[in-house]
């Protein structure tokens, strides 16, 4: 493993502008790197549906051990804003920071750099392995849009790993929530607020009373709910007749998610009817959830590999979503691995070099563990 080469490549990648929606430049670089490594690379047609600067890259490396399970790794090529003109700096504390008024982009270019170094090490050593796919998505930071629109027929893995979570290397996200988005429109009746307010029905008041009835925030260890956006009204002297509300509910338990969304929809509808108005709510499952145990194969392999690099696996539950949620929904068992980056999505983002090195070690050890498992099963 050439750690200095990996660090240099990490610097190279974070300097390439790739804010979500503008992935053209980074996609071209990644495709060339993958092809130089010997991957067969396909860019899917997802950008025609997402409007982003690139499609997803699905890269396939055929292995020489047929009994080894075909596996995949996924990272995303885009970053949040502000992510143009990034200048990475390695400081004496062993962390890489951004030198300017930008993010660093370790989310998820640290994952990409580690994956490339893992594959170079395999190639240079001549070490045998099974089939490996890299799935590098566009638009992850824009709501997982690339993964949603991926051509899943291009994926051939039995299971895989999303290399994209905070926390020290050794963490395995084995559970993440289902996520439902709610779009609500409340209708009241307009009137002059000073001359004849009693003739009006305030959609704002309906909305406020509806929200006041709701269970929101942290509901239990698996479930959360939030009102995210509230828009409506024209002037102080007009009784508002229409309000638009965006909200969400999340739960690792699908039944709990349904119970919470039903509760929120009912609160809007019943309150509106009580006040003489109406409310319509559209509920959409934004991303599927997943839950694995330490007995599941995808977890067992990662855990064994983590122990092999001298760390103890930590099984984690996430309250957020990742491409891993989407790929689980597509039928590919996936857990998310901790990368080690810190303070992501802020200008204080930083990446410890020690964790970048450990991540590459872990990815290589996962490949080896899959190979050994296949041999034992023969």
The Cα 75–Cα 15 span in angstroms is 17
The residue behind tokens 């929200």 is 211
User: Pick from 165, 113, 138, 188: which is nearest to 357 by CA?
Assistant: 113
Indicate which residue of 44, 78, 107, 323 is catalytic: 78
Q: Which residues, at least 6 apart from 132, have a Cβ–Cβ distance to it below 8 Å?
A: 60, 61, 63, 70, 71, 72, 73, 119, 367
3-state helix, strand, coil in the chain (%, to 5): 35, 30, 35
The reply to whether 78 belongs to the active site is yes
E strands, 77-188, are: 88-90, 95-98, 132-137, 159-165, 171-176, 178-187
Q: Report, in angstroms and rounded to the nearest whole number, the Rg of the chain calculated over CA atoms.
A: 24
Quick one: residue 369, left, alpha or beta (phi over 0 = left, psi -120 to 50 = alpha)? Answer: alpha
CA 252 to chain centre: 15
The Cα 106–Cα 10 span in angstroms is 8
Indicate which residue of 108, 131, 140, 349 is catalytic: 140
The Cα 263–Cα 169 span in angstroms is 39
The residue behind tokens 């539950």 is 317
Residues with a known catalytic role: 78, 140
């Amino acid at each position: 493993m050439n750690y200095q080469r990996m660090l240099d490549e990490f610097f190279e990648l974070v300097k390439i502008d790739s804010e979500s929606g503008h992935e053209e430049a980074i996609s071209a670089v990644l495709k060339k790197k993958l092809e130089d490594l010997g991957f067969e690379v396909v860019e899917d047609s997802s950008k025609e549906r997402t409007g982003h600067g690139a499609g997803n890259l699905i890269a396939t490396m055929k292995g020489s051990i047929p009994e080894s399970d075909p596996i995949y790794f996924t990272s995303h090529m885009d970053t949040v804003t502000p992510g143009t003109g990034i200048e990475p700096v390695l400081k004496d504390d062993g962390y890489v920071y951004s030198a300017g008024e930008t993010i660093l982009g370790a989310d998820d270019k640290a994952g990409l750099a580690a994956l490339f170094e893992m594959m170079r090490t395999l190639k240079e050593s001549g070490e045998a392995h099974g089939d490996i796919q890299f799935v590098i998505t566009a638009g992850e930071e824009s709501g997982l849009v690339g993964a949603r629109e991926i051509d899943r027929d291009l994926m051939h893995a039995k299971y895989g790993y999303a290399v994209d979570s905070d926390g020290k290397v050794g963490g395995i996200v084995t559970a993440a929530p289902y996520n439902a988005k709610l779009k609500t429109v409340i209708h009241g009746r307009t009137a002059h607020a000073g001359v004849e307010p009693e003739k009006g029905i305030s959609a704002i008041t309906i909305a406020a009373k509806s929200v006041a009835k709701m269970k929101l925030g942290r509901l239990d260890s698996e479930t959360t709910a939030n009102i995210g956006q509230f828009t409506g009204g024209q002037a102080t002297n007009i009784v508002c007749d229409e309000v638009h509300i965006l909200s969400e509910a999340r739960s690792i338990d699908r039944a709990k998610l349904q119970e919470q969304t039903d509760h929120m929809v009912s609160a809007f509808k019943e309150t509106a009817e009580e006040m003489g108005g109406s409310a319509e709510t559209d509920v959409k499952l934004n991303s599927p959830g997943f839950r694995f145990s330490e007995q599941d194969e995808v977890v067992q392999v990662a855990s064994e590999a983590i122990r092999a690099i001298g760390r103890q696996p930590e099984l984690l539950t996430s309250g957020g979503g990742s491409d891993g949620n989407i790929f689980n929904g597509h039928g590919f068992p996936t857990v998310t691995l901790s990368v080690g980056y810190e303070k992501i999505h802020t200008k204080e983002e930083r990446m410890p070099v020690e964790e970048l090195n450990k991540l590459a070690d872990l990815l290589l050890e996962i490949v080896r563990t899959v190979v050994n498992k296949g041999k034992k099963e023969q």
